[in-house]
A and B are shown apart, each in its own frame.
Chain A
Amino acid sequence: MSSLSFIDVSVSYGRSVAVTSFNDTVHPGEWLCLIGPNGAGKSSLLRAAAGLVAYSGSVLVDGSPLNLRSARRRAALVAHVPQSPAMPDDMSAFEYVLLGRNPYVGYFGQETKQDRMMVQRVIERLDLQPFAMRPLGTLSGGERQRLVIARALAQEAPIMLLDEPTTALDIGHQQQALELVDSLRREHGFTVVSAMHDLTLAGLYSDRLALLHQGHCVASGPAQEVLKAETLSEFYGVSVSVHHEEDGTVVVVPRRTGPLA
């Protein structure tokens, strides 16, 4: 179990600023969900934590700065699942999940038998055995998403960064993928930071939401506090009605603004 802290993290690409002094601490085992309109800086923040973009400020894992660690050591602490992962059509599913072991293999080394057995266990845990030897190009969207999560799991990193893990999936597979992440989180005590577009799902699965707007964090807290009709209309420019279910779930439903036919 590890905590992840952002201290004054800013990300800019040339002159355009993507994230401005983001501060937050994600506690061990907590699930923080970043929400906000397109271009708000959600992906940039996740990419900074994964060491893929230069940033100012510091990202700390258990109190020690991440950028002082070697690439492999960092990868053993933080697993990043990109928005649209590159999945070579002719790579087998097993080979793909095996890539997750890279942080534990030396520059000129090869994966050991333990690495392969570990990957085999991950594949069994996620019920992927039927596809293990199939090329990625023959798999469906839902199967691919599970494989990407399997690769992150094989990485054995205590912190998982998920960049819109459900965008390409239908509602059933969305639920399946998020349930999977949630159960793995409880099983292994992962700390999860995800960026998500579906506000209802974001509120349903995460412990806490952080709303980003033009690189600034404008609201943070549990779903009941952040998901308010007026807040969402201010930052998303959207007209919604927010319903509170009896079990505490917050449901965000878009409202039609034009005249009803």
Chain B
Amino acid sequence: MIPNKELQLPRSWWMPMACIVVGCAFLFGAMIGPAGPVWWRVPGELLDHLPWISVHSGASKLESTVLWQIRMPRVVLAGIVGAMLSLAGASFQGVFRNPLVDPYLLGVAGGAGLGATVVIVTGRAASSSWPIDPLPLAAFVGGLLAVLVTYTVGSAFGPSKTSSATLVLAGVAVTSLATALQTFMLQRNTDVVRQVYSWILGRLSTATWGDVRLVLPYVIISSGVLLWHRRLLDVLRVGDDEAQSLGARVTRIRLTVVIAATLGTAAVVSVSGLIGFVGIVVPHVVRLLAGSSYRRILPLTVLSGAAFLIIADIPGRILSDPAETPIGVVTAFLGAPFFIVVLRSRQGTSR
């Protein structure tokens, strides 16, 4: 696919535009929901919370609490999760030079799913008195362990430690193994299938500020490292050999990016469940609109990923009120047609 020059806005326009989109998504996300203040009172209420600004929004105490303790953490968490998944997806696609790769591929998803299943099957009731919720912890550890196995297997049997194809294949094998174990456990404990399934489809409905605080350090470190590699991802686009002859240390770059993206993904997956499709569709849309240089793609995917997941989280709240439509279903339902439309429109203009 070749980006069409005329359709590309000047480079300097993209970041401000993406910021505006995120801002709008954030406001919409805060305004819409089954309970809480009337939508037009939300901006005032939000402004009131800024330091040195006092606005009388007219919202009741209860409405204010709903907004601050239920809706806001959810919007913020959606933004963080969306940004992290998209950034990790774009980085993986860069480092493996494969447009179909995302962090789930090396086993994060399979491992985290297995970890969550183990906890749910062994009984959440037993652990309800624990000081920390074991579910996110198990998902986090499961995800990291799976990728560790993938990396060990991939580099032990691969022709060289830099071979990315071996690594991806090892990831597929590890994911299958984890999924098989998970299926086996569910088979024996059919009573928790529903619970596990709802985790797999992703959830943001129970988000609290605690979740946000839990993932934020990992997300900040991970995105910092990934964003700092944006120029090197451009160098890797010419292939391992040529990147190396240009003085890039390919193995080290790939390892660093994989570790950073995995850490961030495992962290967000542990609180949000497996929200699929974001890591592939958002970077691709950004690429189609803003060109293929990772220097531009990476910062833009952070913003558009956040906006995408905040918006994708809105229909879930109101469609089947009071029940929730799982976010993973909504991302695929919104994302897939949008992606097809973008692909089609680009096909018409390129070449």
Contacts and interface: CB of A to CB of B under 8 A. Distances in A.
Interface of A: 47, 50-52, 70-76, 78-80, 82, 85-91, 95-96, 99-100, 102-103, 105, 107-111, 133, 135, 137-138, 155
> Interface extent on B, as a size class?
20 to 34
A78 B247 CA distance: 10
Contacts of B39: none
B247 A75 contact: yes
Contacts of B245: 50-52, 75, 78-80, 82
18 contacts: A52-B245, A71-B249, A72-B247, A73-B247, A86-B237, A87-B238, A88-B238, A90-B1, A91-B234, A91-B237, A91-B292, A91-B293, A99-B246, A103-B246, A105-B231, A107-B232, A135-B3, A155-B246
B239 interface: yes
By DSSP majority rule, is chain B's interface helix, strand, loop, or mixed? loop
Contact of A99 (B235, B241, B249): B235
A149 B5 CA distance: 25
A52 B235 contact: no
Most buried by B among A70, A75, A102, A111: A102
B244 interface: yes
Given A73-B247, A102-B248, A135-B3, 10 more contacts: A50-B245, A71-B247, A75-B246, A82-B242, A85-B238, A90-B291, A91-B237, A91-B292, A99-B235, A108-B228
Contacts of A89: 1-2
Interface in B196-253: 228-229, 231-232, 234-235, 237-239, 241-242, 244-249
A102 B228 contact: no
Contacts of A96: 238
Most buried by B among A85, A107, A111, A137: A107
Contact of B235 (A47, A82, A102, A137): A102
B225 to A, nearest CB: 9
Contacts of A75: 245-247
Contacts of A102: 235, 246-248
A234 B3 CA distance: 52
Interface string B278-307: 000000000000011100000000000000
A79 B244 CA distance: 11
B246 A137 contact: no
A188 B325 CA distance: 67
Contacts of A51: 244-245
Contacts of B3: 90, 135
A155 B247 CA distance: 10
Most buried by A among B228, B231, B232, B292: B231
